[in-house]
Amino acid sequence: MKYTNNILQTPIGKISVYACEDGLREIRFQNHKKEPLTDLHVDALKQLEEYFAGTRQIFELPLSLTGTDFQVRVWDSLRVLGFGETTNYGSIAHSVGSPRASRAVGNAVGRNPLPIVIPCHRVIHAGGGIGGFSGGLSKKRWLLNHETFQFPTSRRDVASLVSVGI
C-alpha cells in the first residue's frame, strides 16, 4: 500500500498528514518531505486549516486505521467527543466496555495515529491534570484553549473542575 504525505503549517507548528488510497492514515508533529498532493490530502489539509481558523469542529474524512481491536474502539470513542468537550481515561474505559482498563486506554490514546482528527488532546486526567500528548503539552494546551476550554493554572482551579465532574 502506497502512502503519501504533505505538510501543513499551523499555529502549533508544522504537521505532516499521511494518506493512502483507503483514507487518512496518520498525522505527525514533524517535518517530512513534501510529495504530490492527492485529493484526500487536499481535503484533509483544507479541513485542518478550517479547524485552526476556528471554522470547523468536525472532521469528515475517510480514515485508514491500523491497530488492535481495543485501540480502534478507543479511537472511535474519541471521535464521538464534541469540540471543546473533555473526558478522562476511566470514562473512555467504561465506554469501550473495559471499565478496569484505564491504563490500557492511556496506551491506546498515546498511540493515536491521527491527533487532532481523532481528538486525543481532549483526554485529561480525572483529577484535573492535563495528561500527556504526542505533540507535547504546550500544543495540547493550545488545542484545548482553541476549543475554548481554559485549562486550570492553579490547584484551586483544578478543584473546581473536579467538583463539577470534568
Which residues are catalytically annotated? 120
Give Cα 114 to chain centroid, integer Å: 6
DSSP code of residue 122: G
Q: How far apart are CA 135 and CA 73, in angstroms?
A: 22
131: left (phi over 0), alpha (psi -120 to 50) or beta: left
The one-letter amino acid at 14: K
Cβ neighbour number for residue 158 with a 10 Å cutoff:
18
- Are 23 and 35 within 8 A, CB to CB? no
User: Would you state the torsion angle of the CA atoms of residues 19, 25, 30, 35, taken in this order, to the nearest 10 degrees?
Assistant: -10
Residue 1 CA to residue 136 CA, distance in Å, equals 30
Q: List beta partners, residue 63.
A: 24
